[in-house]
Chains A and B, each alone.
Chain A
Amino acid sequence: MAKAALLLILSVLPGLALAQAPKADLACKATGTDFVFDCTIRLSRGGKPLEGAQVTVGADMPSMPMAHNVKPVKAQAAHAPGEYRAKLDLEMLGVWAVKLRLAGPVRDQLILHYEFDSKGATPAKR
């Protein structure tokens, strides 16, 4: 009885179980315009593509966390399942902490570090 109650409570509590935490990766291409990038985001959860999420993409420069606020854009669902497209307008090149805010089936926030140069973005590891 107590175990059932516990399970009931646990199932109701939102956002449990880190094993269900979504994962993401980013592929960006430079467009013709300065500092504007065309980005494709791939979301997955528990090994399967995460569909139907509302993704808002923002970015921050690590060394000035609250200054270079890039206006967040809503990503559009792309053709492949779990893929979303967004145009990122950064104010300069360099290492950015891309912030993915997820709503919909899963509420979460993911931070990915990428180095943006004149061609596109590569994952940044320090």
Chain B
Amino acid sequence: MDDYAIGVLTNIGLISFLALSAYLLLITGEMSFGQQAFFGVGAYAGGMLTAMYGWSLPLAALCAMALGALAQFLVGLPTLRLRGLYFAMATLAAAEMARILFELFHFQRQLEGEPVGPDGSQGFRGIRWVFEHGVEPLEYLGMVYALLALALVAFLLVERSRLGATLRGVGEDAELAASLGVNVTRVKLGVAAAAGALAALGGVLYAHHNTYIEPRNFDIMLGVHSLAYALIGGLGTALGPLLGVVLDIGALEGSRVFQGYRMIVFGGLVALLLIWRPRGLLDERAVQWLRRRFS
């Protein structure tokens, strides 16, 4: 497999974390335009820990996930009572604030005569953990997909459990769920923390794959894209968001036929697809149908 294909596949894996993070919130009825901020938190935190303080990647990733979970929890506390577009706007505002804070964040250490660390809008160079530890691109790809597979297994287990039913119940009709004894606030906050951790994991992996991050990487486009992947792929299963990611990055990136026109083609296809399947490709009905077919 050549480097380019490995790169594309790795990117698919990385964005999938972000799409899954948006999907998780969507299940419980909240639409977030801001997951890219937690992606960024993970990227900066993980990058700083390995490049500036010599932490190992696994440890840095765990720490980054914890920070991402905390950050999304804190953003969620005052905002999860908001509905629909209001919540979306609040997440958008929070994410843009985070991005601007990244632009203002200068924190470098002198390591062997060179400054290392985030330098505001100049970005954060030299996250070279993979080179310092001889990790080949193919190995890194394997690592990303192993973690993604773990996340997927967790999702699929939850979806078949009572917790999954509770989550979807909250998403369908929060008042009804509350009247049935579900602590809706606690559920939503828990989901928020999980979504933040997931996004942050994607972020830390992205930072080490790219060796360089800058605030512009984490702008609205990234967030709206990942939300769109979840909505296009379908909300019936965790494989839905992945399908959305693969469709955009994989199929159209792989076929260079549409060089320069990719967005136009993809955008048109998405709009048409949504007319046919407004709830995405793998929506709840499709998943039910598939389950019956193959059980």
A and B touch in the complex (CB under 8 A): yes
Residues of A with Cβ closer than 8 Å to B? 13-19, 21, 56, 58, 62-67, 69, 71-72, 91-92, 97, 101, 107-109, 111, 125-126
Among A15, A16, A65, A72, the one with the most B-chain Cβ atoms within 10 Å of its Cβ is A65
A-B contact pairs, 21 of them (CB 8 A): A14-B133, A14-B134, A15-B133, A18-B112, A18-B126, A19-B112, A19-B113, A19-B114, A58-B4, A62-B214, A62-B217, A63-B221, A66-B15, A66-B249, A69-B11, A72-B3, A92-B260, A97-B212, A101-B3, A107-B131, A109-B131
12 more A-B residue pairs beyond the given contacts A18-B112, A69-B7, with a C-beta to C-beta distance below 8 A: A15-B131, A15-B133, A18-B116, A19-B112, A65-B206, A65-B217, A66-B14, A66-B15, A69-B4, A72-B4, A72-B7, A109-B212
Give chain B residues whose Cβ lies under 8 Å from the Cβ of A64: 221-222
Known: A126-B121, A126-B122. A18 touches B114 (CB 8 A): yes
Give chain B residues whose Cβ lies under 8 Å from the Cβ of A17: 112
Q: In the assembly, what is the distance between CA of A13 and CA of B133, in Å?
A: 8
Say whether B112 contacts A91, CB under 8 Å: no
How far does the Cβ of B153 sit from chain A's closest Cβ, in whole Å? 24
Say whether B11 contacts A15, CB under 8 Å: no
Q: Is the interface of A mostly helix, strand, loop or mixed?
A: loop
- Number of B residues near A (Cβ < 8 Å) is 38
Known: A18-B112, A72-B3, A111-B125. A66 touches B256 (CB 8 A): no
Residues of B with Cβ closer than 8 Å to A? 3-4, 7-8, 11, 14-15, 111-114, 116, 121-123, 125-126, 128, 131-134, 206, 210-212, 214, 216-217, 219, 221-222, 225, 249, 253, 256, 259-260
How far does the Cβ of B107 sit from chain A's closest Cβ, in whole Å? 17
Contact partner of A91 among B125, B222, B259, CB < 8 A?
B259
Known: A17-B112, A111-B212. A69 touches B121 (CB 8 A): no
How far does the Cβ of A47 sit from chain B's closest Cβ, in whole Å? 13
Say whether A63 contacts B128, CB under 8 Å: no
Q: In the assembly, what is the distance between CA of A18 and CA of B260, in Å?
A: 38
Known: A72-B3, A126-B122. A16 touches B212 (CB 8 A): no
Say whether B7 contacts A15, CB under 8 Å: no
Say whether A21 contacts B114, CB under 8 Å: yes
Say whether A71 contacts B126, CB under 8 Å: no
Give chain B residues whose Cβ lies under 8 Å from the Cβ of A67: 225, 249
How far does the Cβ of A72 sit from chain B's closest Cβ, in whole Å? 5
Give chain A residues whose Cβ lies under 8 Å from the Cβ of B111: 18
How far does the Cβ of A46 sit from chain B's closest Cβ, in whole Å? 11
Contact partner of B122 among A18, A21, A109, A125, CB < 8 A?
A125
Say whether B114 contacts A69, CB under 8 Å: no
Say whether B131 contacts A108, CB under 8 Å: yes
Give chain B residues whose Cβ lies under 8 Å from the Cβ of A107: 131, 134
Say whether B4 contacts A71, CB under 8 Å: yes
Contact partner of A111 among B11, B121, B134, B211, CB < 8 A?
B211
Give chain B residues whose Cβ lies under 8 Å from the Cβ of A14: 131-134
Say whether B4 contacts A63, CB under 8 Å: no
Question: Nearest chain-B residue to A91 (Cβ)?
Answer: B260
Say whether B253 contacts A69, CB under 8 Å: yes
Give chain B residues whose Cβ lies under 8 Å from the Cβ of A16: 132
Q: In the assembly, what is the distance between CA of A72 and CA of B256, in Å?
A: 13
Give chain A residues whose Cβ lies under 8 Å from the Cβ of B121: 126
Q: In the assembly, what is the distance between CA of A43 and CA of B253, in Å?
A: 30
Question: Nearest chain-B residue to A125 (Cβ)?
Answer: B122
Q: In the assembly, what is the distance between CA of A17 and CA of B256, in Å?
A: 40
Closest 6 CB pairs of A and B: A111-B212, A66-B11, A62-B216, A18-B112, A15-B132, A15-B131
Question: Nearest chain-B residue to A70 (Cβ)?
Answer: B4
Q: In the assembly, what is the distance between CA of A91 and CA of B4, in Å?
A: 16
Give chain A residues whose Cβ lies under 8 Å from the Cβ of B259: 91
